[in-house]
Amino acid sequence: MSSTDARTSVTAPAVRARKVASGAEPLVMLTAYDAPGARIADDAGVDLILVGDSVAMVVLGYDDTLSVSVADIAHHVGAVARAKPRPLIVADLPWMSYHTSVDEAVNNAATLVRAGAQAVKLEGGRKRLRVVEAIVDAEIPVMGHLGLTPQSMHAMGGFKVQGRTSEAALALVADAKALAHSGCFAIVLEGVPDAVARMVTAAVDVPTIGIGAGPHCDGQVLVFHDVLGLEDRVAPKFVRRYADLKADAVDAVARYADDVRGGHFPADGESYHLAAGVAETLGLYGGPVRR
Ligand code: KIV
């Protein structure tokens, strides 16, 4: 459990104040897409739940994040919010929900807040400042996302580590400073060299939350299905698996199937029984059916 009081809900201003350089404990963010996932994250004491557009890949079976809509994310945000978790609920604005107009972006952010989000996250740096400022003006906290931004996979030429040249590293620092200046309360840094994440973290007064960005960020985020080993197909270098639930689940379901096929499930204690008088009236004998 975090040292934060378990009954106090985490807020965006409280997250904004969590710089490790100022003595704060690193932030812990985990994705979740439904009520059971939100309860697990809450009971484990994480600080932020991200209803990420990664739902497209780990839950909905798509190959990338580009296929999910605002309605899809809102559906999953609602499920997470109904668990009433203590962590701050951050919802991803999906691809094309903030790219065509500032008004559309604000309205889409509002849709996610009405579904239960307490903040939204969007990808991109200086070219997104007008959108960030407008959403912040609408009193919705915004989390930035820089580096390997999966919604730009085609523009980037794939899922590639970003910021490897000195120009690219300096551009990331400039993007992060601009996002912080425009009102972002935190910034996700994804898929960047650890030294670059360290430079960015030192350059901004809002927390950075890393994924594949090394240990020098103000916090870390991982995807629920990766942490728990529910996703066993791809294992990026930065993922640490803390459980092997896919294998455990396959084993459990296989044992269930064996029990059904072998006539061992359900047992007498797992069945409902008629009262003796009713069974007699119907001409039935009590006791379990014998095969
Ligand atoms: O959608 C997501 O899960 C994310 C994280 C990888 C930061 O954006």
Average pLDDT over residues 166-170: 98
Shared domain check, 69 and 208: yes
Query: Which 8-state DSSP code applies to residue 285?
Result: -
* pTM confidence score: 0.94
Whether 209 and 257 map to the same domain: the answer is no
Regarding whether 264 and 141 lie in a shared domain, the answer is no
Write down the pLDDT at residue 290: 45
In a domain, 103, yes or no: yes
Per the structure, the complete domain to which residue 264 belongs is given by 247-281
Q: Are residues 94 and 170 in the same domain?
A: yes
Same domain, 165 and 276: no
Residue 237: count of CB within 10 angstroms of its CB: 7
DSSP string, 65-96: STT--HHHHHHHHHHHHTT--SSEEEEEPPTT
pLDDT digit string, tens, across residues 12-59? 999 999 999 999 999 999 999 999 999 999 999 999 999 999 999 999
Q: What is the per-residue pLDDT across 64-83, written as a single tens digit (0 to 9) for each?
A: 999 999 999 999 999 999 99
**Does residue 276 sit within a domain?**
yes
Distance 259 CA to ligand 1 centre (A): 39
Averaged pLDDT for residues 250-273: 98
| Closest ligand 1 atom to Cα of 121 | 8
Residue 291 placed within a domain: no
190 catalytic, yes or no?
yes
Q: Is residue 163 part of a domain?
A: yes
Say if CB 44 and CB 85 are below 8 A apart: no
44 and 166 fall within a common domain: yes
Q: How many domains does the chain have?
A: 2
Together in a domain, 157 and 276: no
Number of C-beta neighbours around residue 230 at 10 A: 20
The catalytic residue among 25, 104, 139, 190 is: 190
Per-residue pLDDT tens for 177-196?
Answer: 999 999 999 999 999 999 99
- Return the ligand 1 atom nearest residue 29 CA: 7
Q: Region 274-286: what's the mean pLDDT?
A: 87
Q: How far apart are CA 159 and CA 148, in angstroms?
A: 7
Q: Is 43 inside any structural domain?
A: yes
Kindly report, residue by residue over 190-227, the tens digit of the pLDDT: 999 999 999 999 999 999 999 999 999 999 999 999 99
Query: Which CATH number goes with the domain that contains 184?
Result: 3.20.20.60
Q: What is the pLDDT of residue 232?
A: 86
- Same domain membership, residue 178 and residue 115: yes
Residues 226 and 109 in one domain: yes
Residues 121 and 228 in one domain: yes
Same domain assignment for residues 268 and 237: no
